[in-house]
Amino acid sequence: MTLSPWHNTLFSDGWRAGTGAPLDVVAPATGAVIDTVAQADAADLDRAVTSATAAQKAWAKAPYAVRAAVMLKASQLLEADPGRLTNVLIPESGSGRGKADFEAGLVISELQEAAALASHPYGELLRSVKDRTSIARRVPLGVVGVISPFNFPAILSMRSVAPALALGNAVILKPDPRTSISGGLALAALFEEAGLPQGVLHVLPGGGELGAALVTHPGVPCISFTGSTPAGRKIGEAAAPLLKRVHLELGGNNAMLVLPDADVQAAASVGAWGSFLHQGQICMTTGRHLVHRSQAEEYIAALTEKARGIPVGDPEEGMPLGPVIDEKQRDRVHGYVTAAVEHGATLAVGGEYEGLFYRPTVLTDVASDNPAWAEEIFGPVAPIQIYDDVDEAIDVINASEYGLSVSIITSNPYAAYELCDRIESGAVHINDATVDDEAVIPFGGSKASGVGGRFGGPRANLDTFTETQWVTMQSRVERYPF
């Protein structure tokens, strides 16, 4: 076995990566083994927790400027050479070049915001009925466990790792085993070069068994998880008896509402981006298209044409859409498409694959009880439903168990804004796609799309990655009757 250079050159201290069985990192586009890393086991996790607990104390006591400098240096290193991340993202996660560049930019922004977060006010002066100073201040949680997914592996790791570190925590990061490098080891290499002290960040490659051990480890008081809703429910159930702080950013079945006054061609462009970007493997992917009957024929034709014209192939050869992550996911996607047709939907385009390359797919005549409408597909599939009344359409949007992101396309943005009060969703984007994120906003969903906190922006990050401590001071010792 040849261990990954990420292990040999960057993690020679023995606790930052695994010491267990080899794990092949495979390019889904070609099936080629990109590298081999060593998986972590329960013993590696115990060592990591012990090391992180010890290192966190000094890191938390360091002046905020020290933590800010590490975040800023990491952002500068990546900005100067984004290829250190994009050149891994493309083969490892099947990212198109544009998606990889976009993701690297998000990571840079996240690091820059984390640098500013380190100096952000971290408390408030409270009123008191006593003659004293009363303060609520934010203190680090200690060790934060981060479990991240395969689809946007770098940013969905970094949006928890960077703010947690900036606020004085240590972090144990378990990336998806399919993206161990871009979701973990490459990020650790960036931080190491930026001057992050040894022991503050641990990257442990491994699968579900390791993730379960991290969730229940008594030395990890906080878990930040991004992934599917079923997995999130299991994590919440496992962590509840331990009274752990758990932040769950979960799935979505996001709707795009095309209002009767919308520019149909523009709407089809937004819909194609929302449904097909990164092969639909995004929690914010547009999984439901609601189009008014007066525009349905034109919209279906326009979206179908866009789906037909998008090249699919190896992203290392410049194709904008690459492969789905593995055979299991491909078969899951195709199962939804097949079931949709069996339940009465019409296949307008797509529904075909070669290897892991699944063609952009448009389904029409999709009823609300069709599995392709009711459930998250996580693939390049655009189900369309026709509506006659906006009130009816909003009821359809809200009927989903998910509440992550909604898009409204219209020529009257203010009228669309007035609909937001009636829409059950963590985000509503007027005249933009359901897929959107920025480091400065408190990102998260409602209902089955998330619980426990938000990611992004100073206030949300302080709420998510610190604990509140109440401190009082008075000049004289208080007198009591006994």
Vertex 48: Cα angle to 47 and 51 (nearest 5)? 85
Count Cα atoms within 13 angstroms, Cβ side, for 272.
24
Q: Are 157 and 166 in contact (CB under 8 A)?
A: no
d(CA 144, CA 161): 8
Spell out the alpha helix ranges (H) of 23-63: 42-61
Longest pairwise C-alpha distance within the chain: 83
Count Cα atoms within 13 angstroms, Cβ side, for 397.
33
First to last CA, the chain: 72
Q: Are 426 and 450 in contact (CB under 8 A)?
A: yes
304-329 residues labelled b (16+ CB within 10 A) or e (exposed): bebbeeeebbbbbeebbbbbbbeeeb
Catalytic residue, candidates 124, 283, 297, 376: 283
Task: Decide if 249 is catalytic.
Answer: yes
Which residues is 455 bridged to in the sheet?
443
Q: How far is CA 314 from CA 186, 317, 358, in A?
A: 22, 5, 12
Catalytic residue, candidates 79, 249, 327, 424: 249
d(CA 249, CA 229): 8
Q: Which residues are catalytic?
A: 249, 283
